[in-house]
Amino acid sequence: MGKDRSRWEIILDILYVIQKEKKIKKTRLMQMAYLDWRNFKKYFDYLLEENFIRESNPGSDSFSLTEDGVELLDRLKKVNELLN
């Protein structure tokens, strides 16, 4: 069994996957971030509401990082490096 991830580690994983894939649909993102639907929805909705991610094209159902999302990802990577 792996260790439980903290809130910021889950957010880091989601942002990292989006950055790596450039544009990604929700189901694929959920799978690649290793989250169940309930937890995925909670974090995804938070990132969307806070403008860290956005729909790539209206109606496309694929998502990408905003500039704020890229900045948050960079900061969380630095925190992760310091703690590990």
Which domains occur in the chain, in start order?
Answer: 7-78 (1.10.10.10)
The pLDDT confidence band at residue 31, using thresholds 50, 70 and 90, is very high
Cα 60 from Cα 36, distance rounded (Å): 23
Cα 15 from Cα 32, distance rounded (Å): 11
Amino acid letter for position 45:
D
Percent of the chain with pLDDT over 70: 96
The pLDDT confidence band at residue 4, using thresholds 50, 70 and 90, is confident
> Other CB atoms closer than 10 Å to residue 42's CB: what's the count?
13
Cα 84 from Cα 58, distance rounded (Å): 38
